[in-house]
Chain A
Amino acid sequence: MSILEVKNLTVYFKTFAGLSKVVENISFTLGKGESLALVGESGSGKTTVLKTVLGVLPSNAMVKGKLLFRGINLLETGNEELSKIRGTEITYIPQEPLAALNPLYTIEDHFLDRLILSGKSKTGILSYIRLRRKISPKLKNIMLKYLEKVKIPDPERVLKSYPMQLSGGMLQRILIALAIVSNPSILLADEPTTALDVVTQKEIIELLKELQRDLGLSILYVTHDLGVARTIADKVIVMYAGHMVEEGKTSKVLANPLHPYTKGLVDSIPKLVGGTLHGIEGGLIDYINPPKGCRFHPRCPKARDICRRERPKPVEINGRKVYCWLYGEE
């Protein structure tokens, strides 16, 4: 059963220089208890997609398409239901743990904010003083329970700590605890391990997988690291310059990439077993005047005439999808 269905999502930004056509026609479904990775290089629109699902795009954004959460379109405005879904049913782990927490408040304060105000407050100190009076043994137990769920050693001490006093790995665990305390069904994660070193990264990924299993969470995981995508996600969507280029089972896509961009990426990774590194020529896409047709054509060694004119349609091959004129009909 799908819990989130994204249909033809397009996100443009109005800028001084013109309309920036960042994300175009993204479609995918996220099943219950499933994990899906959105991979792509810097600037490919991954965070933009996540922010759209979460409903936190800046005001210069223009959004088209449908975002169906259990059949409800989240893009319909003026619906009270929606703001409740986002922040409780759909929650988020950000990329930069320190930036996401308020340095002036303890971890306990952050929990209170989530538990009582569902994180919607952006509260000043006054309301915190009011909130602090509400700490009951019951609330405290919930906090401790969640800190234990994310395997924080010495949770009593951690509750009283300020963000600056904790390591990056600890903070990321706390952000995960804060994200699951409302018992969400979907967890959005934006490169939650990029700032961590590999050993800690592995621990966090294992934790997320465990939570996914135990709580039946669906996870949409953004990363630029194909290895991380392979470790965490059953399914992967590869994005290039705001377009989907390939979709399928992660292990299959990486073992046998169909799209020239995916192939280029896989061949660029320095592997432990050695081999020649290739890299991809060119780079940097201008979203105000994006390449016509296939957005990858200026960098594609296989580009033909039609690639410069027409956008490739999805072609299904063995349960996978690829957007490239090398496959299927012209």
Chain B
Amino acid sequence: MPDYILEVKNLKKYFPITAGIFNRIIGWVKAVDGVSFSVERNTTYAIVGESGCGKSTLARTIIGIYEPTSGSIFFNGIDITKLKRRERIRILRRMSIVFQDPTSSLNPRHKVVDIITAPLKVHKIGSPSERVEKAKELVKIVELDESFLNKYPHELSGGQRQRVAIARALALEPELILLDEPTSALDVSVQAKILNLLKQLQRKLKLTYILITHNLGVVRNFADHVSVMYAGKIVETITVNKIFSEPKHPYTRALIDAIPSVTLEEEELVKKLGLKIKPGEPPSLSNPPPGCRFHPRCPLATERCKKEEPKPVLISSDHVVFCHLFS
């Protein structure tokens, strides 16, 4: 039996669309619409998909920034959606999050030392001097010099800011870290350094990661399992090795097809696995297409796809695809 640190079951997060002076609810944005997946301890689980497909909402719902509309989130076997507020806050300390844009996620008026120790302060952990000691330890872990503690975010480069954000995420000694596009705002030479740092921390501190990204290259080099999301739903769950040898879902293959390859080797892989899709836009999350949400852009769609929502098809024990072609 795999040791799952997190199990998400049929999770939904809907945002109301309101109108008029009485804020009457006229519809729902179904940003996360029945998502299930399980994350093994000490591994990296990637969630990929186009912007707006619900990735960030999923992460924010898992970590309790948003209240789920329905579904359950088992963290170390306990359904945290069922807990009382107090108890939930205590448990959520074992999870943290690193956001995409290190510039806007760090308070510009606070020194690095205060940014890093903020979570400790919030949870009333340690005396002020103990917290500073902890901050010294944390900057070292993210490979920054102690002198950075007295700097302000604007004095740092993008990569250094993201290191500070990682140090802050480590402050409460979490078991699980949600990484929401942690390197999308960085240059590739800096991204490589941050990814290497995260990998090394994972080994050293026995961390589990959920990595949200739109970059399949990052997935290939960083994650163990991956779920592909489209319009609020998971369409395929697969191991990282298999997604680059036997992707099944037409949308997964479309994502691969769209990658601008850097080398000939990559170009050949993309040609072999990719699938060209019909031009179009990602669907509206308030009024998604009936049947399979991907059918208006899917080159392989049949009549059935327009009417019937695909059920999960088990290709192998670690490979699930939601597509009529395989049922």
Which residues does A use to contact B, with CB under 8 Å? Answer: 41-42, 151, 167, 169-170, 197-203, 205, 224-228, 230-231, 251, 254-255, 264-275, 277-281, 283-284
Q: Is there an interface contact between B190 and A283, defined as CB atoms closer than 8 Å?
A: yes
Sample 25 A-B pairs with CB under 8 A, ordered by A number.
A42-B158, A42-B187, A197-B51, A198-B50, A199-B258, A202-B258, A225-B260, A227-B261, A230-B260, A251-B264, A264-B189, A268-B191, A269-B188, A270-B215, A270-B220, A272-B261, A272-B269, A273-B220, A273-B244, A273-B269, A277-B196, A279-B190, A279-B192, A279-B196, A283-B190
How many A-B pairs fall under 8 Å by CB? 121
Q: Is there an interface contact between B189 and A271, defined as CB atoms closer than 8 Å?
A: no
Write out, one digit per residue, whether chain B residues 187-223 have a CB within 8 A of any chain A CB (1) or not (0): 1111111011000000000000000001111101110
Q: Which of B220-263 contact A (CB under 8 A)?
A: 220-222, 244, 254-263
Alpha-carbon distance A277/B200, docked complex (angstroms): 13
Q: Say yes or no: A269-B217 contact (C-beta < 8 A), given A42-B187, A255-B264, A279-B193.
A: yes
- With A227-B261, A283-B187 already in contact, 9 other A-B pairs whose C-beta atoms are closer than 8 Å: A42-B158, A198-B260, A202-B258, A227-B262, A227-B266, A251-B264, A279-B196, A280-B192, A283-B157
Q: Say yes or no: A271-B281 contact (C-beta < 8 A), given A231-B260, A283-B190, A284-B157.
A: no
A residues less than 8 Å from B221 (CB atoms): 270-271, 274-275, 277
Least CB distance, B29 to chain A, in whole angstroms:
15
Q: Is there an interface contact between B220 and A255, defined as CB atoms closer than 8 Å?
A: no
Q: Is there an interface contact between B257 and A202, defined as CB atoms closer than 8 Å?
A: yes
Q: Is there an interface contact between B188 and A268, defined as CB atoms closer than 8 Å?
A: yes
Is B277 among interface residues, defined by CB-CB distance under 8 A? yes
A residues less than 8 Å from B190 (CB atoms): 279, 283
Alpha-carbon distance A225/B188, docked complex (angstroms): 8
Partner of B260, one of A151, A202, A278: A202
Q: Say yes or no: A41-B261 contact (C-beta < 8 A), given A199-B254, A274-B221, A283-B157.
A: no
Q: Say yes or no: A230-B262 contact (C-beta < 8 A), given A42-B158, A272-B220.
A: yes
Closest residue of chain A to B269 (Cβ to Cβ) is A272
Is B270 among interface residues, defined by CB-CB distance under 8 A? yes
Q: Is there an interface contact between A199 and B50, defined as CB atoms closer than 8 Å?
A: yes
A residues less than 8 Å from B51 (CB atoms): 197
Alpha-carbon distance A202/B276, docked complex (angstroms): 10
Q: Is there an interface contact between A271 and B157, defined as CB atoms closer than 8 Å?
A: no
B residues less than 8 Å from A267 (CB atoms): 192
Alpha-carbon distance A274/B240, docked complex (angstroms): 11
B residues less than 8 Å from A271 (CB atoms): 217, 220-221, 262-263, 265-266
Among B50, B191, B214, B260, the most chain A Cβ lie within 10 Å of the Cβ of B260
Q: Is there an interface contact between B260 and A227, defined as CB atoms closer than 8 Å?
A: yes
A residues less than 8 Å from B196 (CB atoms): 277, 279
Alpha-carbon distance A169/B258, docked complex (angstroms): 14
Least CB distance, B146 to chain A, in whole angstroms:
19
Least CB distance, A170 to chain B, in whole angstroms:
8
Q: Is there an interface contact between B281 and A169, defined as CB atoms closer than 8 Å?
A: yes
A residues less than 8 Å from B257 (CB atoms): 202
B residues less than 8 Å from A270 (CB atoms): 191-192, 195, 215, 217-218, 220-222
Closest residue of chain A to B256 (Cβ to Cβ) is A272
Is B159 among interface residues, defined by CB-CB distance under 8 A? yes
A residues less than 8 Å from B218 (CB atoms): 270
Q: Is there an interface contact between A227 and B192, defined as CB atoms closer than 8 Å?
A: no
Alpha-carbon distance A203/B196, docked complex (angstroms): 32
Q: Is there an interface contact between A273 and B188, defined as CB atoms closer than 8 Å?
A: no
Is B279 among interface residues, defined by CB-CB distance under 8 A? yes
Least CB distance, A15 to chain B, in whole angstroms:
16
Q: Is there an interface contact between A283 and B260, defined as CB atoms closer than 8 Å?
A: no
Least CB distance, B144 to chain A, in whole angstroms:
13
Alpha-carbon distance A270/B215, docked complex (angstroms): 9
Alpha-carbon distance A169/B269, docked complex (angstroms): 26
Q: Is there an interface contact between B189 and A274, defined as CB atoms closer than 8 Å?
A: no
Least CB distance, B245 to chain A, in whole angstroms:
11
B residues less than 8 Å from A279 (CB atoms): 189-193, 196
